[in-house]
Amino acid sequence: MSIVSKSEKPIRVLIAEDQTMLRGALAALLDLERDIAVVAQAANGREALRLASEFAPDIVITDIEMPERSGLELASDLKSGNGKARVIILTTFARPGYLRRALDAGACGYLLKERPVSELAEAVRRVHAGLRVIDPTLAADAWNAGEDPLSDRERQILNRAGEGHSSAEIAAHLRLSEGTVRNYLSDAINKLGATNRIDAARIARSRGWL
Amino acid sequence: MSIVSKSEKPIRVLIAEDQTMLRGALAALLDLERDIAVVAQAANGREALRLASEFAPDIVITDIEMPERSGLELASDLKSGNGKARVIILTTFARPGYLRRALDAGACGYLLKERPVSELAEAVRRVHAGLRVIDPTLAADAWNAGEDPLSDRERQILNRAGEGHSSAEIAAHLRLSEGTVRNYLSDAINKLGATNRIDAARIARSRGWL
DNA sequence: GCGTTTTCATGACATTTGTCATGAGTAATG
DNA sequence: CATTACTCATGACAAATGTCATGAAAACGC
């Protein structure tokens, strides 16, 4: 089907993934493919951005949850940069909110770590050929799941609350009154149909809104 | 160094890991090693146990957090069974509590997914040769970290609290008075040096006690 | 510019959560 | 059998959390 012959120059790939063992294993396997060459590896988003401008890969495969800079932020950075790299998100999480944000950030692929390795190589080829590759399970979910109902402030506060910080601590950190913080949490709890702040944080996380 | 020549029969390995992509990648890479053969793969603890008795592997490499039956439970099962398989735990978590429980369950190796792939093959060889392989970072930590100070009830209640259940809900579910639940939580918070129930749950989890 | 909506803020009040003292029953340990 | 640790319970109080009514300020469409 593909117009480009496999004896042409290989597809240049960069892998960003914080878990060393998975990163190394995927790089080794992809590199065994005749038409793919792994030109660089990064353990976090910041490093990935630097290496992308240095090596000018065709495809960037990236995890979402990484230190320094997330895969979603990396995708945004690459879109607004001057490179030509297309981004494939590779993550554990089947969260509609993540997929939506990934597409907003210009990603061309969204693949789950639940899938067999073989699909990764195939996704690289498809995306390089100009197609989009979205995990079929999620493509359906993403729309009926609806928008994130939380405002920026609510998200920010809920996130801290979910980590065990008290209202007073959060208020001090954001220079708000304690009552205000409690109101935001109350709103968030209400919007999410939760029973308390912890429950709300759990729900929001499970949908990829935090 | 090794007395056993590499031209002998290969070391038979079973891999138990719920993330398909990682499992497949590791299996493929290990299988490339001349002296190692991956004879079976499992996506959860129960399946791993079944396959272990069917294929009689020399080494079982297993993740900890898996559905059905955890890697720690699997290690126990294998020890009390009649197989000869030695267990290597392969996990994301550098938690002293996990290491301790792994050793109690008879594991011969504890390796982190933070380490390069090459160490996994090497660990397989060492453990097969009768040695123990413990991640050096953890070996030190494990002892000064101390025992889990929580009682069974405290653990049970703290776990639910950490999921966002209210004292009243927990009390109803366990048929206790609400005050009692609050007392257990207060104890747990105190023992762990936390500031509230969420913080306590977070701390306990981070040490592998929940 | 004017209404409308959204976001952000405050204080008052009710409820839930955390602490402490106290005590009874039970199981395990030496 | 004395000691120790764990479990469960009360009640009283302090502190944190959740709810509600209310209003200021910015953003948007018309």
Residues 6+ apart with CB under 8 A from B105: B72, B73, B75, B76, B79, B87
- The domains of chain B, with CATH numbers, are 11-144 (3.40.50.2300), 152-206 (1.10.10.10)
Pick the range with the lowest mean pLDDT from A137-151, A173-187, B18-32, B57-71. A137-151
Distances (CA, A) of B50 to A41, A46, B115, B151, B167: 37, 44, 29, 33, 40
User: Does the CB of B179 sit below 7 A from strand D?
Assistant: yes
Tell me the per-residue pLDDT of A105-160, one tens digit each, with 9 for 90 and over: 889 999 999 999 999 999 999 999 999 999 887 776 655 556 677 888 888 888 88
Count CB atoms within 10 A of the CB of residue B45: 24
Q: Do B29 and A26 touch (CB under 8 A)?
A: no
Considering chain B, what is the average pLDDT of its residues?
Answer: 87
**Extended beta strands in chain A, E state:** 11-16, 36-42, 59-62, 86-91, 109-112, 133-134
Question: How far is C-alpha A90 from the geometric centre of its chain's CA atoms?
Answer: 7
Nucleotide nearest to A195 (CA to C1'): D18
Nearest-CA residue of chain A relative to B111?
Answer: A21
Which nucleotide has the shortest C1'-to-CA distance from B186? Answer: C18
B24: chain A residues, CB-CB within 8 Å: 116-118
> Which nucleotides of strand D lie within 7 A of protein CB?
5-12, 16-21
CA distance A52 to chain B (A): 22
What whole-number distance in Å separates Cα of residue B61 and Cα of residue B63?
7
Measured on CA atoms in the order A3, A5, A9, A11, is the torsion positive or negative?
positive
Nearest beta carbon to residue B92 from set A19, A116, A120: A19
Contacts A116 to B, Cβ<8 Å: 20-21, 24
The B 32-71 residues near strand D by Cβ under 7 Å are none
pLDDT > 70: what percent of chain B? 93
- Average pLDDT value over all residues in chain A: 87
Give distance CA B195 / C1' C25 (Å).
31
Q: How far is the CA of A188 from the C1' of C5 (A)?
A: 19
**Rounded Cα distance, A119 and A110, in Å:** 11
- Whether B2 has a pLDDT exceeding 50, the answer reads no
Average pLDDT over residues A43-70: 93
pLDDT of residue A2: 47
DSSP helix/strand/coil, B86: strand
- Asked if residue B99 has pLDDT above 60, the reply is yes
Q: Which of B117, B162, B199 sits opposite A21 (nearest CB)?
A: B117
**Is residue A93's pLDDT more than 90?**
no
